[in-house]
Structure 1
């Protein structure tokens, strides 16, 4: 009887096509706009990065990545970002330590300061990525314009479209956006069928991804030798590396509120950010130039020669980059935590390969990224997708799915690398 009742329970009614069709053009518009915003911010930051780290030191006759230049540029970046946070309207947005991928729309007047602070952060060398500030800017613009141009559309739809579009633009595929939105939908009551709720975000993510693909042709593939037919040793390696990589990530998560409190104690952004920049300069001098910046192009360089460094050097870069991520995310630099975590996980995986050469470098990198991202972001789909897309090997996906299970048991229910407004870790 219970089984018959379960079979007869009605499923969520699907939306008719006429309810979804009006969403297509707004979603495509948001997707293209979000992709262009990401390209603009990234392009300007890259130009500024070239001027700061190549043109200027060459003109002054100083080594591009000498210890002195690292200390000067990163401290100066802290001063400039501190000035923006202090003086710009809205103080360049909320404290980045309190933000995840999703963000409530801010006033448009806040956006110039936020974007300038983000571009300075990306160019100056702090270990943060573009995702959080670009998502916040796109969400604010989509909400502000959407409410004025299409007032009959639900206001809550615009930030969701902007988030999906930006994630699609960041990863160059709408799959990541669909995974993030579906994970968010799982945490709250949903009306209607899942694909009805994903329809507009998926369109926005596809438009954002196509915009960046047509203009910039981004790729996440590290070019590592593909994994052949997996065997039992590969499964064991994936299980061990993913779980082991999650442990230092969790340690950083537990330390995060204390580091944030230490910088908050300094009181003023024009003090906290230069001090943070100085510390980052010292860490950069310790770990080398590859431990600077958001880490995406740096991880590609790291993976270009997986056998070219000893295990100790890979491990040292992972530890330094993790410390740099903690400092940059705590002292007030504007940026996200996904891309630096990719570098940390990849360096951890290459450490495993250097210690045990039988571990394929592609497997080590993918499993290390999976565990680190799970600990830092607490988003399983994003972690699994990012780890898989780094390695062009279809056979690795099954190994990662199995490896994600014990790694998730380690991190679930633990604090996240995100704070509430009172400085406490969110669970």
Structure 2
């Protein structure tokens, strides 16, 4: 020994090949079961609340579509719930979405705040996704389950089990253990054998969790689904699609950067006055949704929520939205997304993915640019700029494309690289300022 403290990675390396590591693998596999059950319950409740507020209740009151003013009371209630969680409960309501998506385990004591912020905000119109709170639920449930039989809290083994719970949650929401594996690989930042020691428990937990989640869906019949793109038709790729993808991906990355810049400017104020900024963000979101409905005659819901359901509708019939409606939607949802990133709680990926898809459909009006290649490029560029984890972005979008995945892979990869490089280039001043800070 050289006298320096042993790092977590070195302790895991030493643990490999021993009976304790085999026990860690077994625990990781078992963790996937309660995590998937908790994730299923969370998503089922979220789906029921969302459908009640935006579909069932307006229909019961005689509205074919929610009227333009409908989001106002719901979002104010949601803003208060999120502000209360951030201000008064341990953990501040969970990870701040403007900081990206974290695979770090969440303490079980923070779980009430995470649930209040998520269930009090997301189904009431907050423009964020369920992926971040779901990962927090997965990590916290994993730590709760292994507290009695697992390793001591605060050890590398305990951290790996918490990350395994988050991986199982990622597999559930994104519909694939492969996405979970790639995301954890990029997020933990290890390489070689060290990565293997961490990723194996995560892979096992994600696989078991996905299997149990699918079985619960079949058994209960509840309409809880992972992210999917129904309705994409067979598409072919041409040289014009590849050429248009480069400027389209760069433009989308610039747009995402502008959204994030606005969110980062608001974040310090949100940290100082969480309740005030949460209510202000909810009010701005409601105004954006109402303005969109008045300008286009369409439902304000298209500007609200994570965009998961709207993404399926957009992929099923891209021509259903006029160019004007697309521009209005991107502008209004982009502003709502920016203020939500700074002041509210949820995941950053789903709304970014939807905005990228909408921008891709808009770009498909360019001569020779096919609708499916443009949609794929838009999703890939936005996801790479939001995370930014380029391999995870490429794998996620490729899997979403289903039968078109192999044909659209060149477009996806080009869009990811162009968007990632553009985002890095635009982020240089902030990175230099952060590096120079004491």
Normalization by structure 1: what TM-score?
0.85
Match of 1:223 in 2: 231
TM superposition shift of 1:335? 0.4
Match of 2:397 in 1: 387
Match of 1:9 in 2: none
CA–CA separation in structure 2 for the residues paired with 1:382 and 1:121: 27
Check if 1:334 corresponds to 2:345.
yes
Q: Is the 8 A contact 1:366 1:390 kept in 2?
A: no
CA 335–169 in structure 1, closer or farther in 2 if over 3 Å, else same: same
- Of the three residues 142, 167, 170, the one matched with 2:170 is 167
TM superposition shift of 1:262? 4.5
TM superposition shift of 1:69? 1.3
Match of 2:281 in 1: 276
Match of 2:157 in 1: 154
CA 396–47 in structure 1, closer or farther in 2 if over 3 Å, else same: same
Match of 1:66 in 2: 67
Match of 1:214 in 2: 215
Q: Is the 8 A contact 2:262 2:339 kept in 1?
A: no
Q: Which runs of 5+ in 1 are unaligned?
A: 1-11
CA–CA separation in structure 2 for the residues paired with 1:409 and 1:92: 32
1:7-406 superposed matches below 5 A: 16=17, 21-60=22-61, 64-93=65-94, 95-98=96-99, 100-106=101-107, 108-151=108-151, 154-185=157-188, 187-188=189-190, 190=191, 192=193, 194-216=195-217, 218=226, 220-228=228-236, 230-264=237-271, 267-269=273-275, 271-287=276-292, 288-331=300-343, 333-353=344-364, 355-356=365-366, 358-392=368-402, 393=404, 394-406=406-418
Q: Is the 8 A contact 2:164 2:201 kept in 1?
A: yes
CA–CA separation in structure 1 for the residues paired with 2:98 and 2:416: 26
Q: Is the 8 A contact 1:291 1:298 kept in 2?
A: no
CA–CA separation in structure 2 for the residues paired with 1:128 and 1:49: 13
Say which SS state the counterpart of residue 395 (structure 1) adopts.
helix
Say which SS state the counterpart of residue 92 (structure 1) adopts.
coil
Say which SS state the counterpart of residue 414 (structure 2) adopts.
helix
Say which SS state the counterpart of residue 39 (structure 2) adopts.
helix
TM superposition shift of 1:18? 6.1
TM superposition shift of 1:316? 2.2
Say which SS state the counterpart of residue 185 (structure 2) adopts.
helix
TM superposition shift of 1:339? 0.5
CA 151–13 in structure 1, closer or farther in 2 if over 3 Å, else same: closer
CA–CA separation in structure 2 for the residues paired with 1:194 and 1:117: 33
Give the superposed CA RMSD. 3.0
Deviations 1:306-350 (A, max 9, x none): 12222232232122222111111212x220110111110000000
Match of 1:7 in 2: none
Match of 2:10 in 1: none
CA–CA separation in structure 1 for the residues paired with 2:419 and 2:282: 33
Q: Is the 8 A contact 1:370 1:383 kept in 2?
A: yes
Q: Which runs of 5+ in 2 are unaligned?
A: 1-12, 218-224, 293-299
Deviates more, 1:28-37 or 1:149-158: 149-158
Q: Is the 8 A contact 1:127 1:293 kept in 2?
A: yes
